[in-house]
Amino acid sequence: MWKFTVRRILIMIPQIILLSVLIFIMAKMMPGDALSGLIDPNIDPETIAEQREKLGLNDPWHIQYANWVKDLFQGDLGMSFRYKMPVTELIGQRLANTVWLSLLTLVLIYAISIPLGLISGRYNDTWLDRVITGYTYIGFATPLFIFALVMLWFFGFTLGWFPTGGSVQPGVESGTFEYVMNRIYHMLLPALSMALITTVSTVQYLRNEIIDTKQKDFILTARAKGASESRIYNRHILRNSLLPIAAFFGYEITGLIGGTVFVESIFSYPGMGQLFLESIVQRDYSVATSLTLLFGIATILGALLSDIILSLVDPRIRIK
Amino acid sequence: MSQALLKIKNLKTSFRIKDDYYAAVDDVSLTVNKNEVLAIVGESGCGKSALAFSIMGLHNRAKIEGNILFKGKDLANASPTEWSKIRGKEMGMIFQDPLTALNPLMIIGDQIGEAIYLHNKNISKEQRKLKVIDLLEKVGIPHPERVYDQFPHELSGGMRQRVVIATAIANQPELLIADEPTTALDVTIQSQILDLMKQLKEDMDAGIIMITHDLGVVAEMADRVAVMYAGQIVEIADVYTLFENPQHPYTRSLLNSVPNNKEASSKLHVIQGIVPSLQFLPRKGCRFSARIPWIDVSAHEENPQLHEIEPGHFVRCSCYKHFHFPEEEVQ
Ligand SMILES: Nc1ncnc2c1ncn2[C@@H]1O[C@H](COP(=O)(O)OP(=O)(O)OP(=O)(O)O)[C@@H](O)[C@H]1O
Ligand SMILES: [Mg+2]
């Protein structure tokens, strides 16, 4: 088990290096650089050139890359020109917001997909299954940002049931129970919007897994032993079908990253996703590259998590 | 001498394909006695498994007509609750492919233990484990204590089939159905499993239905043989009669397609064509007639019935009287 995990973690090192090189190259190819946002148009070009030289922006790319990585290791992600503060500090504030939003979304995703997938798979080709499958098709066809806008307009503005922006109501004292509830209240609509759309792939996946497992030979063996239908579902089909879903958990996180970018922007929720879109629109160079790097690392970690979960729950992979 | 354990009368099992029902088992009648091995032979797709599944009540979307009298009780339309009391306790089944017949996420001990638990919930866990280890020993698995905690993927195909057999006999069933138990195994393992089956046949006081397309297995194991073609029994007789005096063209062709057989004096006969698929099965006349085109149509019955040509020996359709192999035609 440990050997497997260690080996799996070691594989990540070249992945992360490759990721950082790619991000660095893409960042270099973007118009503008770390300076362009900072510059006051009134400063004369000579001073700018001087600054460029001083900041090392005229060095060959590999030296620039080495410096960038060195700074990364020291926790220096550069300065945000828009917020006039270190990127580390800026992201730090928002990281927690995004993590909480993602966690709530994950809980909702499973709370929706597991029962729906189970029902749909067990009673496949009944009207109940058709209703659920119909929902998944709608979910697949609806772009998240449009759905989120509709949710915001309907539940936020028209009905006024939910706040339409922010992560907490100003004035609520942090640390109190009321504060926690207020934050959940603010997260609920964006999380629900995201969950209702992203969960459909898990519903479909689970449904197919169950239909697949239902036809496996070992189900016949169980039936031939005299196991009742409910026991067959609870003991034999459920575990075998949930296994790939559990393994998918890490990748689910990856999917959420894309979702938060839209949803946070639409609900003006101060998280990393919102910051990311903003930083691109406003050419906030260091913020954009840092966030891309973070998202990339989160994706790699998600895949790692999936593999570790799978190796824990599947005896065929489990290494003693 | 012995009493009928299982008596099937005019069994018809149909599957629904696009709004129509097609019979995969059509008008099958047979009996299995205690302490008797009935072999069912026939090519792939002739309905052997469909028959076995009907007897075990394992079809979930099939129409079953006729009677399945097991110890005098008709199971043809038994409820799921009734079935789950009988299956695994009074009837056990061994499946074709041991590689897929076991739950990949459950240890061997629990899989066999489940069969015991389901029909006897009063046995303590410790006792159950002892019983399982006993069973593992009985089916010839070395180191049963270790195998108890292993997962299926840690065992070879032959060992897994032994586990499947142990599961099937866990509650000493009175009827054991083996659906091609050796087909998926390689030759040396095949003979080991057959030896085990033979030994179990001696030890157990059970009726056994042995489905196979291997005539060697039939000769070795069976007391009586039913030959199936396209969902019907075309010939049924005791094993000795069937090998010595086969009558139906299909039986003769089958026997003749095996080397070292009496009838295959000079040339091996290859049966032309294949079993037609369910939807395109001829429902009228002799179903085998299309595969022996050199026999005149007038030789077949319009509505072929089983004829008892000697006590206990039944043959379907009168075409057997006029049958000859094409190469014999010249003479
Ligand atoms: N559930 C089902 N639905 C529809 N058709 C089926 C079903 N099960 C079996 N059949 C059809 O019934 C016919 C008999 O199949 P069966 O599995 O009983 O053959 P078999 O004699 O056991 O063959 P094999 O030697 O390959 O195991 C085949 O044409 C098959 O396609
Ligand atoms: Mg079969």
Instruction: Determine how many CB atoms are found less than 10 A away from the CB of residue A309.
Output: 16
Residue showing tokens 């395109």: B280
Torsion of CA A139, A141, A143, A146, to 10 degrees: -80
Q: Could you give the CA distance from residue B237 to residue B227 in angstroms, rounded to a whole number?
A: 9
Torsion of CA A262, A268, A269, A272, to 10 degrees: 50
Is the Cβ atom of B47 under 6 angstroms away from ligand 1? Answer: yes
Listed residue (B174, B220, B199, B215) closest to B6, CA to CA:
B174
A55 located within any domain: no
Whose atoms come closest to the Cα of B46: which ligand? 1
What are the structural domains of chain B? Answer: 4-90+173-328 (3.40.50.300), 100-172 (no CATH)
pLDDT at residue number B12: 92
A269 located within any domain: yes
Please check whether residue B92 touches A, CB under 8 A.
yes
pLDDT at residue number A318: 61
Pick from A126, A221, A228, A317 the residue to mutate for testing the B interface (most B CBs within 10 Å). A221
What average pLDDT does this structure show over B223-231?
A: 93
Distances in Å between the Cα of A203 and the Cα atoms of A132, A151, A265, B318 are 9, 21, 26, 58
Is the Cβ atom of B46 under 6 angstroms away from ligand 1? Answer: yes
* Tokens encoding B295: 């026999």
pLDDT at residue number B317: 84
Domains of chain A: total: 1
Q: Could you give the CA distance from residue A274 to residue A278 in angstroms, rounded to a whole number?
A: 6
pLDDT at residue number B224: 94
Pick from B75, B103, B132 the residue to mutate for testing the A interface (most A CBs within 10 Å). B103
Instruction: Determine how many CB atoms are found less than 10 A away from the CB of residue A161.
Output: 11
Q: Could you give the CA distance from residue A199 to residue A116 in angstroms, rounded to a whole number?
A: 10
Q: Could you give the CA distance from residue A107 to residue A195 in angstroms, rounded to a whole number?
A: 9
Listed residue (A259, A264, A273, A280) closest to A26, CA to CA:
A280
Is the pLDDT reported for residue B263 higher than 80?
no
Average pLDDT score, chain B: 86
* Residues 6+ away with beta carbon under 8 Å from A299: A253, A254, A257
For residues A222-261, one letter each, b for 16 or more C-beta atoms within 10 angstroms of the residue's C-beta and e for the rest, the string is bbbbbbbeebbbebbbbbbbbbbbebbbbebbbbbbebbb
B6-37 pLDDT per residue, tens: 999 999 999 988 888 888 998 899 999 988 99
pLDDT at residue number B331: 43
Q: Could you give the CA distance from residue A144 to residue A192 in angstroms, rounded to a whole number?
A: 11
Judging contacts by C-beta atoms under 8 Å, the chain A residues touching residue B168 are 224
The residue type found at B305 is Q
Nearest alpha carbon, ligand 1 atom 16: B47
Composition of chain B by helix, strand, coil, percent to 5:
35, 25, 40
Is the Cβ atom of B52 under 6 angstroms away from ligand 1? Answer: no
Closest-CA residue of chain B to A315: B105
CB contact under 8 A, B87 and A220: no
Q: Could you give the CA distance from residue B176 to residue A34 in angstroms, rounded to a whole number?
A: 79
pLDDT at residue number B37: 93
* Opening angle at CA B98, ends B94 and B100, nearest 5: 115
Q: Could you give the CA distance from residue B161 to residue B94 in angstroms, rounded to a whole number?
A: 8
Print the SS3 string covering A126-155: CHHHHHHHHHHHHHHHCCHHHHHHHHHHHH
Atom in ligand 1 nearest the alpha carbon of residue B59: 1
Q: How confident is the model at residue B90 (pLDDT cuts 50, 70, 90)?
A: very high
pLDDT at residue number B152: 93
Q: Which of B18, B19, B21, B48 to mutate to test the pocket of ligand 1 (most atoms within 8 A of CB)?
A: B48
pLDDT at residue number A40: 63
Whose atoms come closest to the Cα of B50: which ligand? 1
> B123 or B318: which carries more pLDDT confidence?
B123
CB contact under 8 A, B80 and A228: yes
Q: Could you give the CA distance from residue A103 to residue A183 in angstroms, rounded to a whole number?
A: 13
pLDDT at residue number B183: 82
B112-154 pLDDT per residue, tens: 999 999 999 899 999 999 999 999 998 889 999 999 999 999 9
List the single range of B118-127, B257-266, B303-312 with lowest mean pLDDT.
Answer: B257-266
Residue A210 CA, ligand 2 centroid: distance in Å: 24
Q: Which of A218, A225, A229 sits opposite B87 (nearest CB)?
A: A225
CB contact under 8 A, A225 and B103: no
* Tokens encoding B43: 């090519």
Please check whether residue A228 touches B, CB under 8 A.
yes
Please check whether residue B128 touches A, CB under 8 A.
no
B319-329 pLDDT per residue, tens: 878 787 876 65
* Residues 6+ away with beta carbon under 8 Å from B293: none
Output Rg (C-alpha) for chain B, integer angstroms.
21
A88 located within any domain: no
If contacts are CB pairs under 8 Å, which of residues 139-168 in chain B contact chain A? Answer: 151, 153, 164, 167-168
What average pLDDT does this structure show over B281-308?
A: 80
A182 located within any domain: yes
Q: How far is B274 from chain A (nearest CA, A)?
A: 26
What average pLDDT does this structure show over B105-111?
A: 93
CB contact under 8 A, A316 and B97: no
Q: How confident is the model at residue B305 (pLDDT cuts 50, 70, 90)?
A: confident
Q: Could you give the CA distance from residue A317 to residue A243 in angstroms, rounded to a whole number?
A: 12
Residue showing tokens 């089909």: A237
Please check whether residue B182 touches A, CB under 8 A.
no
* Tokens encoding B178: 């083996």
Range of the domain at A167: 95-283
Please, are residues B216 and B39 in contact by the beta-carbon 8 Å criterion?
no
How do B4-17 and B224-229 pair as beta strands?
Answer: unpaired
Q: Is the pTM value of this prediction over 0.90? A: no
How do B207-212 and B20-33 pair as beta strands?
Answer: unpaired
Judging contacts by C-beta atoms under 8 Å, the chain A residues touching residue B104 are 218, 240, 315-316
Residue B45 CA, ligand 1 centroid: distance in Å: 5
* Tokens encoding A279: 């930083």
What average pLDDT does this structure show over B41-64?
A: 90
Pick from A122, A211, A223, A225 the residue to mutate for testing the B interface (most B CBs within 10 Å). A225
Residue B51 CA, ligand 1 centroid: distance in Å: 9
The residue type found at B69 is L
* Tokens encoding A47: 């001073």
Please, are residues A153 and A147 in contact by the beta-carbon 8 Å criterion?
no
Per-residue pLDDT of chain A (320 residues; tens, 9 = 90+): 677 788 888 888 888 888 888 888 887 776 666 565 556 666 677 777 776 676 666 777 778 888 878 888 877 777 777 777 888 888 887 888 888 888 899 999 999 999 999 999 999 889 999 999 999 999 999 888 888 888 888 888 888 787 877 777 777 777 778 778 888 888 889 899 999 998 999 999 999 999 999 989 999 999 999 999 899 998 899 889 988 888 888 888 888 888 888 888 888 888 888 888 888 888 777 888 888 888 888 888 888 888 888 887 777 766 44
DSSP B112-156: HHHHHHHH-TTS-HHHHHHHHHHHHHHTT-SSHHHHHT--GGGS-
Judging contacts by C-beta atoms under 8 Å, the chain A residues touching residue B105 are 239-240, 243, 314-315
Please, are residues A100 and A183 in contact by the beta-carbon 8 Å criterion?
yes
Please, are residues A183 and A98 in contact by the beta-carbon 8 Å criterion?
no
Atom in ligand 1 nearest the alpha carbon of residue B17: 4
Please, are residues A120 and A241 in contact by the beta-carbon 8 Å criterion?
no
CB contact under 8 A, B105 and A227: no
Is the pLDDT reported for residue B253 higher than 70?
yes
Residue showing tokens 């089958």: B254
> B88 or A307: which carries more pLDDT confidence?
B88
Paired residues of B314 in beta bridges: B236, B308
pLDDT > 70 in chain B, percent: 94
Q: Could you give the CA distance from residue B240 to residue B253 in angstroms, rounded to a whole number?
A: 17
A300 located within any domain: no
Check which CATH number belongs to the domain holding A168 and give it: 1.10.3720.10
What average pLDDT does this structure show over B146-163?
A: 92
* Tokens encoding A107: 């809980």
Q: Could you give the CA distance from residue B307 to residue B285 in angstroms, rounded to a whole number?
A: 15
Judging contacts by C-beta atoms under 8 Å, the chain A residues touching residue B160 are none
